[in-house]
C-alpha cells in the first residue's frame, strides 16, 4: 500500500495560495469600478449637458451687437466612448448644426432639449457648427469643439 505524505511546509504553502486567491477574488468583486469580464452588461453612456447662449451689447454709437455660442465651448471624449450630448435651447429660436467630419446634423430649438448620441472611433478635434451663426457676420461664430483622445 502506498501513502502520500505532505510536509507541514507544503501544507502552509498551499494554504497561503488558497488564501491569496480568496482575498484577490473578494477584492476584485467588491471594487465599485470593476468591469464585467463579458462586457456590455453594465455599459455606461456618459451624459454631457450643453446649452445655447447669447451675448448682447450696445456700441458707443448705439448699434446693438450680439453673438451666440455653445456652452461649454469644448468637450473632451475618449476614443470609442459612448456619449449622450444633451443640448438645451435657451437663446435663439433654433440652431441647426452639423459636426464636421461626420454625418451628424440636428436642430436645437428654444425651450427644448436635443439629445445627440455620439461615439468617435478616430482621434481628433471635431467642430460642432451652428449653420445659422457660422461667422461674425451672422452673430457668431457659434462653434464648439469636441476633442477625442
Give the DSSP H/E element, type plus range, for residue 15.
helix 8-30
Residue 18 within a domain: no
Per the structure, the count of domains in the chain is: 1
DSSP output for 39-85: -STT---EEEEEEEEEEEEE-TTS-EEEEEEEESSEEEE-TT--EEE
Residue 69 within a domain: yes
The reported pLDDT for the residue numbered 125 is: 98
Closest Cα to residue 108, out of 122, 91, 121, 124? 91
Residue 112 within a domain: yes
Residue 25 within a domain: no
Domain enclosing residue 66, as ranges = 46-148
Closest Cα to residue 128, out of 98, 87, 83? 98
Residue 50 within a domain: yes
Residue 6 within a domain: no
This prediction has a pTM of 0.69
Q: What is the CATH number of the domain that holds 125?
A: 2.60.40.420
Q: Is 127 exposed, middle or buried (0-12, 13-18, 19+ CB in 10 A)?
A: middle
Residue 17 within a domain: no
Residue 41 within a domain: no
pLDDT tens for the chain, 149 residues long, are 677 777 888 888 888 888 888 887 777 666 555 555 555 555 789 999 999 999 999 999 999 999 999 999 999 999 999 999 999 999 999 999 999 999 999 999 999 999 999 999 999 999 999 999 999 999 999 999 999 99
The reported pLDDT for the residue numbered 18 is: 87
The reported pLDDT for the residue numbered 25 is: 78
Amino acid at each position: 500500500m502506498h501513502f502520500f505524505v505532505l510536509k507541514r511546509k507544503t501544507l502552509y504553502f498551499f494554504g497561503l495560495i488558497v488564501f491569496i486567491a480568496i482575498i484577490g477574488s473578494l477584492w476584485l468583486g467588491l471594487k465599485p469600478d470593476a468591469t464585467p469580464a463579458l462586457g456590455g452588461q453594465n455599459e455606461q453612456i456618459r451624459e454631457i449637458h450643453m446649452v445655447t447662449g447669447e451675448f448682447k451689447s450696445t456700441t458707443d454709437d448705439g448699434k446693438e451687437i450680439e453673438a451666440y455660442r455653445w456652452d461649454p465651448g469644448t468637450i473632451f471624449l475618449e476614443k470609442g466612448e459612448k456619449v449622450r450630448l444633451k443640448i438645451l435651447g435657451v437663446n435663439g429660436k433654433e440652431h441647426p448644426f452639423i459636426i464636421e467630419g461626420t454625418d451628424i446634423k440636428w436642430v436645437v430649438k428654444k425651450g427644448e432639449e436635443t439629445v445627440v448620441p455620439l461615439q468617435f472611433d478616430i482621434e481628433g478635434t471635431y467642430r460642432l457648427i451652428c449653420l445659422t451663426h457660422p461667422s461674425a457676420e451672422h452673430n457668431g461664430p457659434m462653434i464648439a469643439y469636441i476633442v477625442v483622445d
